[in-house]
Amino acid sequence: MTAILEELIKSPQLPRHFAQLKDLLADERKRREQFYDEMTEEGKWEFINGEIFVHSPATLRHSDASELLFLLLSIHATRHDLGLVKHEKTLVCLARNDYEPDICFFSKTKAARFKPEQMKFPAPDFIVEVLSPSTEANDRGVKFEDYAANGVREYWLVDPARQQVEQYLLRTGKYHRHAALKTGEIASSVVTGFRVPVRALFDRAANLAALQKL
């Protein structure tokens, strides 16, 4: 139990706070249903703590890093029959919030339950977010906490400006940084056998060489 919750339970104002939270969550549920009705295939839509975020188009640097990593990960997962890799337009619906991660991986067992017409998806096993000035606060903040709370076992933050990858692994319900790399190779803990040069996420020649090895 968190210190905030312990303090709230001991407070004589608990009934009033509970009523306020109940009203807030009821209103949030209505706005979330409206979000589902209004979102379209154009753009990147997310629902975070009651607010709708429609993201602006990505820079070339951002989209390149996302596409290069997706290419490597999807080919590896397909070749070894490990599961399903999705890119950007996959709505991950968690207990309170909805996200469209840049890249996500679902294990073979989890993906086997998906239906062709499915539009809402559970927590993936592995998520990658590519940082940008407009999204970094959420990627390192609410998403960092939310992905961990919902059992996403591995989380990468790819920084195309610094050409760096941060790797976080889930232990006892929280993320712990396993690596922060600009050179060398990075290996996934969740996607069996996936190991690629960091340069292959930012350089097309290095990416092609890594693809040939896959």
Please report whether residue 2 resides in a domain: no
Structurally, the chain folds into a number of domains equal to 1
* pTM of the predicted protein model: 0.90
Please report whether residue 77 resides in a domain: yes
* CATH number of 180's domain: 3.90.1570.10
pLDDT at 1: 56
Please report whether residue 78 resides in a domain: yes
CA–CA distances in Å: residue 106 to residues 86, 87, 93, 102, 171: 8, 12, 14, 14, 19
Please report whether residue 158 resides in a domain: yes
**Domain hosting residue 180, numbered range:** 57-213
69, two tokens: 């990593």
Return per-residue pLDDT of the chain as tens, 214 residues.
Answer: 577 778 777 778 767 877 888 878 888 889 899 889 888 877 789 999 998 988 888 899 999 999 999 999 999 999 999 999 999 889 999 999 999 999 999 999 999 999 999 999 999 999 999 999 989 999 999 999 999 999 999 999 999 999 999 999 999 999 999 999 999 999 999 999 999 999 999 999 999 999 998 8
pLDDT at 86: 97
Please report whether residue 30 resides in a domain: no
Q: What single string gives the DSSP state of each residue in the chain?
A: --HHHHHHHH-TTHHHHHHHHHHHHHHHHHHHHHHHHH--SSSEEEEETTEEEEEPPPPHHHHHHHHHHHHHHHHHHHHTT-EEEEES--EEE-SS-EE--SEEEEEHHHHTT--TT--EE---SEEEEE--TTTHHHHHTHHHHHHHHTT--EEEEEETTTTEEEEEEEETTEEEEEEEESSSEEE-SSSTT-EEEGGGGT-HHHHHHHHHH-
One-letter amino acid at 23 equals: D
Please report whether residue 87 resides in a domain: yes
pLDDT at 78: 97
